[in-house]
């Protein structure tokens, strides 16, 4: 099977600092991969490199067989930034209708994504009146509009209550079952149990690329946090 | 270019404005208020009012559209929506034309309101055709918008964006020939005035104040239109898909 993402020796230099120091991995279609690591480890830079908005990138980054940032990928890759990138002065439905027009999605798609992120009852409300978690879900809904084959989500569950967090992870699993590939970053280690595979990032280097079970077996730790600590202490930063 | 995406962008920008009725009220009322003030400043000198009132009809849409569009585009950058849009199939031209259509529409309404008050109750007497006045004011609005979109790329915050207004507009205003005839200026100043687009906008209105369609007026229209296109092309170059 062809990989959805193939990254080889990815390096990123920003302001004369090496933010990513030679990262290689692949993502298989229909999987949810967790990108875990402390803040400042380079998670966001890695995601920005994948979607082709990062400068100072060397190495090879290919998505769905195309180089990162290629025009043909703009419809098939969905990206959700950490801060919700939607119009705060518009209502939820106005935001979705605008991005739907830009992406060539129809009205049925707008209704469907509202349902998926559980915001149907907020459709007519201005985004700036919503809670932080609700805004994050509007931003996620926009990314879902184009039915992307690859979804890159930067900390989508930050600040959400446990029920919503669980519901979102169920949605991610459902999207993966339907064939999408997801890369989801988090600094909450217990979310590792929701992922098919984990990438552990520390100080710009990939220190692990394994399943949770594999990590626990390798380190003898009881949970993802313990495994991360064991690996971090074994590898000098 | 994709017509659906362009028109959707226009509708979106107008919708954002509609959620902000105070801004709409200011855009429409301030020019009328200023023209009324000016009318009574020159209460005993109707000829001076005719001389200054025309160019002001060109200045209002220019300055307001400069401000509104530079802040709007800055917000688009700061909120991350610009970066998001640039990762979608939306072309830069769709975005810029979408903005131009939206702010052009607002400028037409603004100019119609201001000029109908000025030419009606305030008794501003312009010899040229009204359609020429509105047309030039629309071009001036688009010029302000294009420069605003361009300069917003050099601002990091709304404070900075607002400062670009005096920095970019006041030198043009001082040298455009409204305060002193350009022919009497030192050659360096005259040279500067000759390359400032606002000079041609104000000269056009002065032409319209005294007479009909002349060759010089046609030149003014062309120069302003050319500057709009040039500024939009430069603005499009500042919309980078990749950033640090």
Q: Residue B243: is its pLDDT beyond 90?
A: no
How far apart (Å, rounded) are the C-alpha atoms in residues A8 and A59? 6
pLDDT confidence bin for B131, thresholds 50/70/90: confident
Beta pairing, strands A181-186 & A150-153: parallel
Q: What is the mean pLDDT of residues B45-67?
A: 88
Residue B244: inside a domain: no
The residues of B whose Cβ lies within 8 A of any Cβ of A are: 4-5, 7-9, 11-12, 15-16, 19-20, 79-81, 83-90, 94, 241-244
How far apart (Å, rounded) are the C-alpha atoms in residues B110 and B153? 26
Q: Residue B209: is its pLDDT beyond 90?
A: no
Selection from B228, B162, B206, B197 nearest residue B56 by Cα: B206
Q: Do A103 and B89 touch (CB under 8 A)?
A: yes
Q: Residue B84: is its pLDDT beyond 90?
A: yes
Q: What is the mean pLDDT of residues B31-40?
A: 92
How far apart (Å, rounded) are the C-alpha atoms in residues B64 and B107? 9
Q: Do B87 and A102 touch (CB under 8 A)?
A: no
Give residue B218's domain range: 3-238
Residue B243: inside a domain: no
Cα B12 from chain centroid (whole Å): 20
Tokens 């000098």 found at = A236
Residue B61: inside a domain: yes
Q: What is the mean pLDDT of residues B118-139?
A: 88
Residue-level pLDDT at B50 = 85
Residue B197: inside a domain: yes
Q: Residue B1: is its pLDDT beyond 80?
A: no
Residue-level pLDDT at A1 = 56
Residue B102: inside a domain: yes
**Side by side, which strands form the sheet with A77-80?**
A77-80, A150-153, A181-186, A32-36, A197-202, A205-210
Write out residues in chain A with pLDDT < 50, as ranges.
none
The pair of three-digit structure tokens given for residue A177, joined into one six-digit string: 């079952």
Q: Residue B189: is its pLDDT beyond 60?
A: yes
A146-195 pLDDT per residue, tens = 999 999 999 998 878 888 889 999 999 999 999 999 999 988 888 889 99
Considering only CB atoms, B241 lies closest to which of A52, A75, A87, namely A52
DSSP B243: B
Residue B199: inside a domain: yes
ipTM for the complex shown: 0.88
Q: B-chain residues within 8 Å CB-CB of A69?
A: 241-242
Cβ distance B125 to B46 under 8 Å? yes
Three-state DSSP string of chain A: CCCCEEEEEEEEEECCEEEEEEEEEEECCCCEEEEECCCCCCHHHHHHHHHCCECCEEEEEEECCEECCCHHHCCCEEEECCCCCCCCCCEHHHHHHHHHHHHCCCHHHHHHHHHHCCCHHHCCCEHHHCCHHHHHHHHHHHHHCCCCCEEEECCCCCCCCHHHHHHHHHHHHHHHHCCCEEEEEECCHHHHHHCCEEEEEECCEEEEEECHHHHHHHHCCCCHHHHHHHHHHHCCC
Residue B38: inside a domain: yes
Q: Do B88 and A99 touch (CB under 8 A)?
A: yes
Number of domains in chain B: 1
Residue B41: inside a domain: yes
Considering only CB atoms, A53 lies closest to which of B19, B79, B83, namely B83
């Amino acid at each position: 099977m062809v990989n959805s993402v193939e990254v080889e020796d990815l390096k990123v230099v920003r302001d004369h600092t090496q933010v990513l120091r030679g990262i290689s991995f692949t993502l298989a279609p229909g999987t949810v991969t967790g990108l875990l690591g402390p803040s400042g480890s380079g998670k966001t830079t890695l995601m920005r490199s994948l979607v082709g908005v990062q400068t100072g990138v060397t190495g090879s980054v290919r998505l769905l067989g195309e180089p990162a940032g290629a025009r043909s990928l703009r419809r098939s890759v969905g990206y959700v930034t950490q801060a919700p990138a939607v119009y705060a002065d518009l209502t939820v439905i106005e935001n979705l209708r605008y991005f739907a027009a830009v992406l060539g999605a129809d009205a049925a798609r707008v209704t469907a994504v509202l349902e998926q992120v559980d915001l149907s009852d907020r459709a007519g409300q201005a985004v700036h009146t919503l809670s932080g978690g609700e805004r994050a879900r509007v931003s996620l809904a926009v990314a879902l509009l184009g039915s992307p084959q690859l979804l890159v989500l930067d900390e989508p569950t930050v600040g959400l209550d446990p029920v919503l967090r669980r519901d979102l992870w169920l949605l991610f699993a459902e999207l993966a079952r339907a064939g999408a590939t997801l890369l989801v970053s988090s600094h909450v280690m217990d979310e590792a149990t929701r992922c098919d595979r984990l990438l552990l990032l520390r100080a710009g280097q990939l220190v692990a690329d394994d399943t949770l079970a594999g990590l626990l077996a390798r380190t003898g730790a009881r949970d993802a946090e313990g495994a991360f600590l064991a690996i971090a202490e074994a590898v000098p930063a | 270019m994709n017509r659906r995406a362009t028109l959707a962008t226009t509708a979106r920008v107008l919708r954002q404005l509609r959620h902000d009725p105070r801004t709409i009220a200011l855009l429409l009322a301030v020019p009328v208020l200023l023209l009324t003030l000016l009318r009574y400043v020159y209460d005993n000198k109707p000829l001076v009012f005719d001389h200054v009132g025309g160019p002001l009809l060109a200045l209002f849409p220019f300055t307001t559209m400069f401000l509104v569009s530079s802040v709007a585009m800055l917000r688009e950058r700061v909120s991350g929506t610009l970066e998001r849009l640039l990762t979608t199939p939306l072309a830069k031209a769709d975005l810029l034309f979408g903005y131009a259509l939206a702010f052009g529409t607002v400028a037409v309404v603004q100019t119609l309101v201001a000029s109908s008050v000025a030419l009606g109750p305030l008794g501003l007497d312009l010899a040229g055709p009204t359609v020429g006045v509105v047309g030039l004011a629309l071009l001036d609005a688009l010029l302000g918008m294009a420069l605003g979109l361009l300069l917003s790329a050099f601002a990091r915050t709304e404070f900075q964006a607002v400062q670009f207004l005096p920095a970019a507009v006041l030198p043009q205003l001082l040298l455009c020939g409204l305060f002193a005839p350009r022919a009497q200026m030192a050659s360096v100043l005259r040279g500067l005035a000759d390359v400032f687009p606002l000079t041609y906008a104000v000269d056009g209105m002065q032409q319209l104040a005294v007479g009909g369609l002349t060759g010089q007026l046609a030149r003014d229209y062309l120069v302003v239109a050319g500057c709009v296109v040039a500024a939009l092309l430069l603005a499009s170059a500042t919309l980078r898909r990749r950033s640090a």
